[in-house]
Amino acid sequence: MKTSLQALALPLAFNLLSLVHAIPGGPWKAWKGCCVPHDDSPPATNTTEDATTIIPRQSSCLSTGTQSTINALFSSGGANTIVRLCPGVTIPITAPIVFTAPGQELSTQGYPTDSTRATILIQPGSTVTSAIRGNWQNNVKVLNIQVDGNRPNAGYLGGDALLEMGGGTEGQTVSHTVVKNTRSWSCVHFIGSGQENNPCRQATVMFNEVGPCGHEGTDPATGNGLWADGLSIECIDTTVTDNTITGATDGGIVIFGSPGSHILCNTIVSTSSSGLQFGGINMVDPTWGGNYTGVVVSSNTITGGPNSFINLGIGMGSQVWSNPHPETNFGQVTVINNVFTGNIGFSIVMNGWLGGLTVTGNSVSGVTTPSSSFASAAGCGAVQQASFAASEQLVYYPAGVTGSSGPNTIQSQFTALATNASNWLCLTNPPPLLPDTKSFLPNTLSVDASTSRVVSLRDFHVQVQGDGNVVGIDTTGASVTLIDWPSPRCCALCTGTSY
Ligand SMILES: *[C@@H]1O[C@H](CO)[C@@H](O)[C@H](O)[C@H]1NC(C)=O
Ligand SMILES: *[C@@H]1O[C@H](CO)[C@@H](O)[C@H](O)[C@H]1NC(C)=O
Ligand SMILES: *[C@@H]1O[C@H](CO)[C@@H](O)[C@H](O)[C@H]1NC(C)=O
């Protein structure tokens, strides 16, 4: 300890520390109703005792400034510098905040967990997509702040994620932080390093509130997807626990390989603002050569909310996503005690995995049935359509889940597919419900030979036939009935006639 300010800060930091230490021994332990790993390594939220706090001494926290102010403090302070923002302040930024040395921390003074957490807010008119960059610095920490990409005002923009962490590093932490409204493809990204001997490793991502992230659909101008992930994790031996991800639109938590990582006790919910969310938790990408050895996905709750749905709760394997790839994903992986509720098209689908899966104790009893009440499989292949029509939630292709690295233990509720099927990311919103009746005010309905569909009702269409007759079509049975229509019958001669 070097300054009296730290005397103020340390007890709070130690609260955080003791919380982490409260995880008892053994490889698995119940903690707050969840199954958590025992971790022998030092807690990543370790607040270093020799930290230098470079903050105006009279106020003890930063009450005003921009990214330049914060970046100057980090640059001049060096390793272990803590920049404490004052509760309630908003820091407008037009360029990223960048960690420049190991052990640096950005936090709100007193580590609040409510709306008084300081906000980093991207300004409209800027071209920045990443508010904070912590790449390639060991043990840096983002704690108890709010990071707002401001997509509603600053707009969608392709680029790096709102929070960019990872690279060849160890021990980074993002906790108790709100991350929302990313302009780009993800709210939080831990990127890999591309170096086998120096991977991103031992990060901690816990107790964050993430989302909304992205929008449903594509940008009409460019065709780019507007959707975004909640957490995108390419970091081995990483702990992702107790996060709440609300309104992500691509994957809630996307695990990119990341051997040895534990994804536990997270809550993932789609919302009406997000609409269609593609995935809850993904293990579909070929990153890390498709190596998912030792990944544990346990005790997460995945919920498709009202007026929205999640296409795929947990996807596992190279054949499951919309971009099936020839390399088979592999590794002994444990997916247990996850709970699926609400509007979910398929809860778990497995195809394209090499060996050693333990998939047990997952609950789908709370999923809405029938699936057709919230989604449509019209764009899917025949196998997917059949599973969807039967509201099959737990599905795998046995020939596609095989291999040498260990036995499979798969709960008995799984439906074993007889036929190989790739791409389960094929559900769409159901077509809008058509009205039962439609009325026209006098002189507002004009029908001539160029009119095709006159009116579409539920189970019934009225349209002009090639021969000039106006017909009603029963769309349930496809029988065609000629309406008793007042003469003159519509024809080229009566163009412009109003009925
Ligand atoms: C945590 O703090 C202790 C005591 O200062 C130190 O020995 C240990 O190396 C620290 N761990 C990390 C990950 O910073
Ligand atoms: C997969 O990852 C694990 C854990 O890092 C490693 O021990 C193993 O060698 C990897 N397997 C392959 C085939 O790369
Ligand atoms: C399933 O189909 C995919 C795509 O055609 C193929 O790559 C894969 O090898 C097939 N799986 C099996 C077990 O045949």
State pLDDT tens for residues 351-404. Answer: 999 978 999 999 999 999 999 999 999 999 999 999 999 999 999 999 999 865
Q: Which residues line ligand 1 (CB under 6 A)?
A: 42, 46, 48-49, 139, 171
Distance 96 CA to ligand 1 centre (A): 28
From CA 59, how far away is CA 74, in angstroms rounded?
A: 18
| pLDDT bracket for residue 28 (50, 70, 90) | low
CA of 172 to the centre of ligand 2 (A): 22
**251-260 residue pLDDT tens:** 999 999 999 9
Structure confidence by residue, pLDDT tens digits, 220-234: 988 999 999 999 999
In ligand 3, which atom is closest to the CA atom of 399? 13
Sequence letter at residue 373: S
Residue 42 has pLDDT above 60, yes or no: no
CA–centroid distance, 46 to ligand 1, in Å, is 6
Question: Would you give the distance in Å from CA 16 to the centre of its chain?
Answer: 26
Q: Which two tokens stand for residue 391?
A: 């509201």
Dihedral of the alpha carbons of 154, 160, 162, 163, in degrees to the nearest 10: -160
- Res 4 pLDDT > 50: no
Q: How far is the CA of 383 from the centre of ligand 3 (A)?
A: 14
Torsion of Cα atoms, 323 then 329 then 332 then 336, to 10°: 0
> Is there a contact between 236 and 256 (Cβ–Cβ < 8 Å)?
no
User: How is residue 77 annotated by DSSP?
Assistant: H
**185 pLDDT above the threshold of 90:** yes
Instruction: Say whether pLDDT at 24 is over 60.
Output: no
SS3 103: coil
Please report the pLDDT score of residue 403 as a whole number.
62
Q: Whose CA is nearest to atom 13 of ligand 3?
A: 400
pLDDT at 5: 34
Residue nearest to atom 11 of ligand 3 (CA): 400
Determine the average pLDDT of the residues in 289-310: 97
Cα atoms in the 13 Å half-sphere on the side-chain side of 114: 1
pLDDT of residue 405: 52
Domain ranges of the chain: 1-249, 303-432, 434-499
pTM of the complete model: 0.80
Atom index in ligand 1 nearest the CA of residue 171 equals 13
CA 329 to centroid of ligand 3, rounded, Å? 13
Residue 229's beta-bridge partner residues? 186
Contact between 91 and 122 (Cβ < 8 Å): no
pLDDT band at 213 (very low <50, low <70, confident <90, very high): very high
Q: Whose CA is nearest to atom 10 of ligand 2?
A: 291
Q: Which residue has the higher pLDDT, 351 or 35?
A: 351
Residue 317: nearest ligand to its CA?
Answer: 3
Spatial strand order of the sheet with 244-246 comes to 90-93, 119-122, 146-148, 178-180, 209-210, 244-246, 267-269, 301-304, 339-342, 363-367
Cβ of 291 less than 6 Å from ligand 2: yes
Q: Is pLDDT at 319 greater than 50 in this prediction?
A: yes
Question: Ligand nearest 396 Cα, by number?
Answer: 3
- How far is Cα 193 from Cα 187, in angstroms, rounded to an integer? 19
Helix (H) or strand (E) holding 296: strand 296-298
Q: Which of 14, 21, 41, 46 to mutate to test the pocket of ligand 1 (most atoms within 8 A of CB)?
A: 46
